[in-house]
Structure 1
Amino acid sequence: MRAADADRQAVADRLRVAVDEGRLDLHEYDERLQRAYAARTYADLTDLVADLPAPAAGPTWGAERPAPAGAEASALAVAGAAVPARTADPSGRPVTARWLAEVWEPYLKVVGIVLAVWAVTSVLSGEALYFWPGWVAGPWGAVVLVRTVSGITSGEPRRWAAQEERRRQRRREKRARKRERKAAKRALGEG
């Protein structure tokens, strides 16, 4: 049976969980993730998670749609992948909310600073000056709004979250290698 995009995403989420649990290293995760997005059938997806234990709790892969039948059901049962309805980070914020914060935060910070500068200069001059912050906030706000709408409709938050997860994993691995090198140097220095 042919796999759908939602099925590929569910397997990608299950692989992310496996990386978080320490069952896959970053290289293997990247390799399997590429194969998951290139998979055409449920058999292709099942092979990617067959050596991983079933997740402890949560809705099963495909829970958002009606219960599958036949070959699809057996593929799903073997895969045992879990995908929460809204994937969240350790702080509990949903992926879309994190992505929106990432997109809008620079804009809001700069507009806040520009408005504060305008307000202070207006107060110091004793009159309301020309509202020049509109030239910063207006065009940039339109660009950020278009990016937000197009990003949400194209599924950008999930891709961004996967990329962020890969970055976090690389940082964790780099710190672990650094600790190992320090421990090895200490061991050589003491010996």
Structure 2
Amino acid sequence: MAATPDMRASDGDRDRVAAALREHVAEGRLSVEEFNERLEQLYRSRTYGELATLTADLPEMDLHRLPAAAKADPPPPARRNKARTAVKVAWATWASAVAVNWVVWLIIGITGGHFVYPWPLWVMGPWGTVLLVGTVFGTIGQSRPRR
């Protein structure tokens, strides 16, 4: 069924017109002030005819093929897997270093006849805390912009 000017417009139709207006601003056909005025009128509009008047003085754009809104794409699976792998490697490295320290402490305690202060805690604690914070807040494995 073809849309007539007196037919009611949907929220999706309004979003498509808003996207078209944003495109016209990006291309320099509308100023920001004009865009804001038309946007206010857009969300008060109820019919296709009212929507058409907002873009009547602009070049024709197929509003049904224009994306309604730019949505942020989720990170690609390879990037997520890379971050997970980085977290696993960081924790495995921590566990290996802590294990080696505890083994050294245990050997010293057994061969010396008495166990000394558990100094591997000073390796395990701060490093583990930093890893835990990085894992919880997702900063491990994230790429940083180069300068």
Greater RCO, CA 8 A, separation 6+: 2
More helix by share: 1
TM-score, normalising length from structure 2? 0.49
Which protein has the larger Cα radius of gyration, Structure 1 or Structure 2? 2
